[in-house]
Amino acid sequence: MSKYLVAGAGGFIGGHLVKSLLDEGHQVVCADIKPIEHWFQYFEECENFSFDLKSYDNCLKATKGVEFIYNMACNMGGMGFIENNKAECMLSVLINTNLLRSSLKNDVKKYFFSSSACVYNGSKQEKTFVEGLKEDDAYPAEPEDGYGWEKLFSERMCRHFKEDFELETRVARYHNVYGPLGTFDGGREKAPAALCRKIIFAKENNISLIDVWGDGEQTRSFMYIDDCLAGTKKLFKSDCSRSLNIGSEEQVSINQMIDIISEIAGHKVKKNYQLDKPKGVRGRSSDNTLIREQINWDTTYSLKSGLELTYKWIYDQMKNNPPSNTNKFTTSY
């Protein structure tokens, strides 16, 4: 049994990770800026802190007596959020900075940083159905403005803490993680959850039209949460200290994903394209060649199988608390 800190434990991936570590018999310290009543998952058996990890003093408190750290904490959301909150997203660099400093002070053995596919060079993402992004495609640097720059800078910081201070660090570049117990309304949700919500609302209210940001031809790959956790823990336990993709190679357009969800719902919809909304890069997906070579990991869930589970969970939530107007929320990705 080991003692872990999960920073960002009140978030989507963080909450699932805490449960997985508890199921393995570990002690877990949880920290998140959100009030505990707003955490996605809460576990009484953990040591729980609701405070801001941009503070060095709070980081020192959270890391005391901890052997291993998973840093999942950052200010983020779908494309609509990160395009309109660049400064707020970049302030997350203070979380990584102070957690790394605290790791040295409190003799942490190993540190994990959750990076993002938003670090990749934008010039390689200007067409739909592009080749999967390889790890070397992050340089020369031209990441997503704000959020992507923070992630890329924090990756470098992890690298130099390993080189200069011999702190074992691991870095994963996540590609669009989705699944049950995630955000599906309010403005921070990503495309799979937002589209499930809109199609559920359309079906329940006999509506045939949903709003879609852009022309629907934008492409992405989406990774189910269970695959994310398996890859994350395998990378953390490995000897690989370079940044690795953790994502799916199954690239689809937004239009194709809408068709998949419509089939799951048994309700066909028409698309009202909103060309003035934030759209992000034109095409993005993961190349898993390096992670297969380094740690022998790959995804096991198809997009459809993951969406079926996600759709069912969101459907149950909406049955208990139906929204009054589904189009007031974003369809971001």
* C-alpha to C-alpha distances, 308 to 11, 69, 192, 218, 318, nearest whole angstrom: 22, 32, 11, 22, 15
Is the preceding omega at residue 322 within 30 degrees of 0, hence cis? Answer: no
Q: What is the mean pLDDT of residues 232-249?
A: 98
Q: Which of these is catalytic: 4, 70, 111, 147?
A: 147
* Measured distance CA(48)–CA(6) in Å, rounded: 10
- Higher-scoring residue by pLDDT: 75, 238: 238
Reported as a pLDDT band with limits 50, 70 and 90, residue 224 is very high
Question: With 70 as the cut, is the pLDDT of residue 179 above it?
Answer: yes
Please determine, for residue 296, whether its predicted confidence score (pLDDT) is greater than 50. yes
Is the model's pLDDT at 207 over the cut of 90?
A: yes
Give the DSSP per-residue string, 123-136: GGSSSSSPPPBPGG
CA R_g for the chain: 19
Segment 23-51 shows an average pLDDT of 97
> How far is Cα 254 from Cα 36, in angstroms, rounded to an integer?
34
Interval 263-292: pLDDT, tens: 999 999 999 999 998 878 999 999 999 999
- Do 218 and 79 touch, CB atoms closer than 8 A? no
pLDDT at 218 over 90: yes
Quick one: average pLDDT of 9-17? Answer: 97
- Residues found in the chain: 333
Res 322: pLDDT: 66
pLDDT in tens, 45-79: 999 999 999 999 999 999 999 999 999 999 877 77
Say yes or no to pLDDT of 314 above 90.
Answer: yes
Domains and CATH numbers, the chain: 3-177+224-246 (3.40.50.720), 183-221+250-285+302-328 (3.90.25.10)
Q: Which pLDDT does position 332 carry in this prediction? A: 30
- pLDDT-derived band at 323, boundaries 50, 70, 90: low
Q: Please state the rounded mean pLDDT for residues 32-42.
A: 97
3-state secondary structure of 302: coil
CA distance 308 to 310: 6
Q: What is the pLDDT of residues 17-28, one digit of tens each?
A: 999 999 999 999
Q: What is the pLDDT of residue 80?
A: 77
E runs forming strands in 109-250: 110-116, 168-174, 177-178, 209-213, 219-221, 223-224, 244-246
Query: Active site includes 147?
Result: yes
